[in-house]
Amino acid sequence: MPADSLATPAAAPASIPVARPAATGGGRIGSIDLARGLAVCLMIVSHGTNGLMPYADFPDWGQVPIHALTKFSSSLFFMVFGIALAVAFVPKTDAPDWPKRRNHLVRRGLLVLLWYKLLTVVELWDRGREAVVDALLYRSFPSFVEILGFYAIALLWIPWLLPLWARTPAVLRWASPLLVGGLWWWVSGHVDFDSQPLRAVLVEDHELYTWGQLSRLPLVLLGLLVGGLLLRWNQDPRTRLLLAGGIAVAGLLLLAAFAHLAGEPLRPVLVEVGRNHGKHPPGLLFSLFSVGGALVLLGLSVTGGNLLARWLKPLAVVGSDSLMAFIVHISVIFLLLRSVLGYYQAVSYEYALLLSGGLVVVTAAWIALWKAMRTRIRQARAQDGDGRAA
């Protein structure tokens, strides 16, 4: 199930901004690409296995630990989204060219929205025309590509609020995840929505599979806070390790709280987590497990920094262009593996897992090739321009 780089110093053709420190002019922060790449690759493993066979047919070791661990993906996506905004855009909100950067983000939101709709057709095509039309008109929602719907909408409104975030007092910024979480809880329980899809898009609904803007905003705000610290502390190994340790410890505490509240035996609860029980709207146990694991992965990524990102370059490459990763793996799963090869419910879990691992490699290779092609085209255009100028 689903889980989610903009390419100039301001933005790139993908769903979320790059981690390039705009304020300092430094290079790209590899640990953020690595964290995003971990989220994407966990998502591909989840989609690749669950896209070819139902969860009930997974062997015990496939349900727990493998598929349960993929639930770290979505929370890590939301946090990295906020981190990248804090690193690449918040420092530039008072710059003269901020309106241009803001509008670039909004245009990226429209691009993501376009691909969200196209990939919705790809996912639901075999369910019939009515299912496709309902999803395109927001009467229902897809499953595998729905996180793109969250990013598309978020990129249309969050950029307008980044200057306000930059001017907000630190106390309010640090309290914002809890305040917004409380607002979500109140709205979801006390506001009557005339439209069920609208309710789903804003605060989520038990009957519709989607990511709510308000319900997931606390994780984005948490990412904005972490991103602000990373921007200041990343250059010094000591402060970076201190930040990474704090992130990892917070994640371990949430996982410990999950284990304590789940009780014994733990495995049946993890099986329900793998079945997405408590995912939409976010429940306590699912959130503790998903956010806790995401924080641990984020802490490990920040600890390793650019060095670990170079060692695990395929993961960082995947994380450098999350929209392209979505386009590639969803297309391969639904068009090639299911429609052309007829693998849906026709392969073993072990083979589905092997295909998912191969899909991670293929996605990384395609993104690397795509970037190399774009670089060559830019270089050729630059040389052609220099030649005409001469």
82's tokens: 């906020």
pLDDT at position 69 over 80: yes
pLDDT confidence band for 21 (50 / 70 / 90): low
pLDDT of residue 340: 96
pLDDT confidence band for 209 (50 / 70 / 90): confident
pLDDT at position 229 over 50: yes
Task: Give pLDDT tens digits for 326-354.
Answer: 999 999 999 999 999 999 999 999 999 99
pLDDT at position 255 over 70: yes
pLDDT at position 225 over 70: yes
On average, the pLDDT of the chain sits at 91
Query: What are the residue ranges of helices labelled H in the chain?
Result: 30-50, 60-61, 68-69, 72-88, 98-124, 129-136, 146-167, 170-190, 196-202, 213-233, 237-262, 267-274, 284-311, 313-319, 322-331, 349-389
Q: Which of 258 and 206 is assigned the larger pLDDT?
A: 258
pLDDT at position 278 over 50: yes
Lowest-pLDDT choice from 22-26, 88-92, 298-302, 384-388: 22-26
What mean pLDDT is predicted for residues 145-160?
97
pLDDT at position 19 over 80: no
pLDDT of residue 54: 93
If one counts every other C-beta atom within 10 angstroms of the C-beta of residue 374, the result is 12
Q: For residues 148 and 110, what is the distance between their CA atoms, to the nearest angstrom? A: 11
pLDDT at position 27 over 70: no
112's tokens: 């993501």
Q: For residues 8 and 340, what is the distance between their CA atoms, to the nearest angstrom? A: 37
pLDDT of residue 386: 64
pLDDT of residue 23: 40
pLDDT of residue 28: 78
